[in-house]
Each structure stands twice: as C-alpha cells, then as structure tokens.
Structure 1
Amino acid sequence: MAQKLIPEAKQGLNRFKTEVANEIGVPFTDYNGNLTSKQCGSVGGEMVKRMVEQYERNL
C-alpha cells in the first residue's frame, strides 16, 4: 500500500463529501451500501467539479 503524503487530507475530503452530499440531497452515512451508483457518482462528480472550479479561480 502506498504511503499517504498528507494523512489529514482524508478527514477533510470526508467532510467535503458529506457537505456536497447534503447539498445535493444524497443521504450519506457511515454505510452507503443502500445508495445507487448514480447517487454516489453524483457526489463524486460534484466534488471534482468544485475542486476544478476552485483550482481555476486560484490560477
């Protein structure tokens, strides 16, 4: 397994994921096996979209 370069990043990404899921109405919990692939994908897609927008603003 690869070494984590920034261990604190995992907590930050989990908070970000939960925030995005709440905003778009996906009921994320500690167990997400009851969610559809579409629901999980929409959260991941929105996260990437926001990260790219933030990066572009900082250019």
Structure 2
Amino acid sequence: MAGERNTNAPAAQGAEQGLDQFKYEIANELGVQLGGDRTSRENGSVGGQMTKRMIQFAEENLKKGSRL
C-alpha cells in the first residue's frame, strides 16, 4: 500500500549494496527511471529482469558443476 516501507531483505548478508547496483544497471539498460512516481509495470520490469538473469547465472553454474 502507499507509504509502506520495503521490508525485503537479501538472503545473503552484505549483498544489499551489490543488488542495489545491479537493480540500477538493469534499469539503465531497459531505459527505466526507478521511483515511486513510475508505474508498477516499469518498476516491476526491472525486478523481473533481475530475477531472470540471476536464474540464468545459477543454471550456468550448476551445469558447470560449481556450487554457489
């Protein structure tokens, strides 16, 4: 709801800064300005793209046999 704070926390302690940087890199690639005045679709497209790339990264590493 409007005015609520984001309570999501990274699963790995200390990853917040890296994830934040990753978020803005993706937003830049997609040409999206993040913010509360943007649509859910615009902001959500960034999160969806982040998830897609993280899954792709994990799958590639699993194929190589390395454990993250």
Normalising by structure 1, report the TM-score. 0.82
- The 1:39–1:53 alpha-carbon spacing in structure 2 relative to 1, beyond 3 Å, is same
Greater relative CO, 1 or 2 (CA 8 Å, sep 6+): 1
Normalising by structure 2, we get a TM-score of 0.71
* Gap runs ≥5 in structure 1: none
> Which residue of structure 2 aligns with residue 14 of structure 1?
20
**Runs of 4+ with >6 A deviation:** none
Number of residue pairs matched by the alignment: 54
Identity %: 52
Q: Does 1:53 align with 2:56?
A: yes
Structure 2, unaligned stretches of length 5 or more?
1-6, 63-68
